[in-house]
A and B are shown apart, each in its own frame.
Chain A
Amino acid sequence: MLIKNHDYNTNMKTNVSNLNENSEVTNDALSYCLENIASNQDRLAFNTVFRYFAPRLKSFLIKAGSTETQAEEVIQEVMIAVWTKAGTYDKVKSSVGTWIYTIARNKRIDKLRKDKRHFLSESDDGLEIPVQSTQENEIFNSQLSSNINKYIDRLPKEQGLLIKLSYFYNKTHADISEELKIPLGTVKSRIRLALSKMRHLVEVN
């Protein structure tokens, strides 16, 4: 029943050649892939999911502070979970992107959790986490979707940036204060404000 890797690789070249780096893969297509992974152990479908998400996960994890090796270890665990849990995916409940995001988040926490204690509400000193430094303009240039922009970019520009820095790139408040030359207290209060606005936007939509 199992397809040997080399046979599989040959098939892949012909059948999935249209799914190159730049082509659009819709959520429906990815969702169909998960169905096939679950019902037919379809390695071709599995490869499509891998080719779509692995490079995005790698970039995402490295921006969030992982080393290259850690990022690939997490990707490996995410993909193994995709294989074993594809049958539990419910397309009515979430998009494939959201499903894989939650898997990646949990795998990353499992892998990297050390002493990252940051509790926004309970302590103002709570959000301090060590991270690699990322240039501000890199972040501006990073390719953010119209979808995520739908939420974040409806915030005043600076608040949106603070949210990205704080939550997706795991910058500490002190780092942000330093990089943007804003006093620490102001960074904290603006992030609070931005969060409550973003929450409202998500609710409205």
Chain B
Amino acid sequence: MARMKFLCDADRCIECNACVTACKNEHEVPWGINRRRVVTLNDGLPGERSVSMACMHCTDAPCASVCPVDCFYTTDDAVVLHNKDTCIGCGYCSYACPFGAPQYPQTANFGTRGKMDKCTYCSGGPEPDMSQAEYVKYGSNRLAEGKLPLCAEMCSTKALLAGDGDIIADIYRERVVTRGYGSGAWGWRTAYGETVAV
């Protein structure tokens, strides 16, 4: 079984936001919910770097550890998913998540939270694969179709990589060796307890 991961090559990311709108497009994510976003450090200064961020589908995911209703589960491909029917919108996971992944639709005045929403690694939820019920709650299920997350597939500079962790680490490693620099696999140590050694 593959161990699915994301890797954003910050030396390639140009903050074009294709990953963000590709995600919106694929899953019809509504205004105000951002499953993926691009974070820019040192904006406008020498050393400016951007990183595309979403749920990293952590090994030993902190969100799952704190969830009071135990709505999270990890698939055979190591994708961290959750069950919206179980979720009570308590928001604990948003405090636990080191990447700011969990999102909540506002359902009423005074900031009442709805069910949590986050990146599914384009692999839906507990409902039957590629069903309309799954689509309505979680968006499309590309993995079940034999495809990878659209954000990475459409990344303008191929900065955002998705796929089996070993394979994308090899791609990144080869790039770093070719060009002679690399600012590291951002977030990997936090998410996966390891980094890409070059």
Partners in one complex: no
